[in-house]
Amino acid sequence: MTKGSIVRFGWYYRRQPIHDIEKEIGIIVSDLREGVWCTTEKLYMRKGSWFIKYTTGPTEAYNVLINEKIKVIAKKNLVEVRL
């Protein structure tokens, strides 16, 4: 992913992208920033049930333009949209 990539919020599970289809599609408008304080989500499965683990701290993030607003989203939670 780089500046200008079309992305959506999501997760990777076993190296496969999973898109959160309820979230809007956006475009990356900045270069990768390091040490940005934000919350990340990790998707995992235990005994056949899905769980999300939330972690807050410094991480790599992008500025993403979504619905005419700029949001800071962790790189870990962005999935590139292939058109």
Bridge partner residues of 73 (DSSP): 62
Domain boundaries, the chain: 6-80
By the 8 A CB rule, do 8 and 19 touch? Answer: yes
Q: Which letter does DSSP use for residue 24 in this model?
A: P
| Nearest Cα residue to 81 out of 2, 30, 5 | 5
- Which pLDDT does position 82 carry in this prediction? 85
Which residue type, as a one-letter code, is found at position 55? T
- Residue 17 CA to residue 29 CA, distance in Å, equals 21
* Amino acid present at 57: G
Confidence of residue 64 (pLDDT cuts 50, 70, 90): very high
pTM listed for this prediction: 0.86
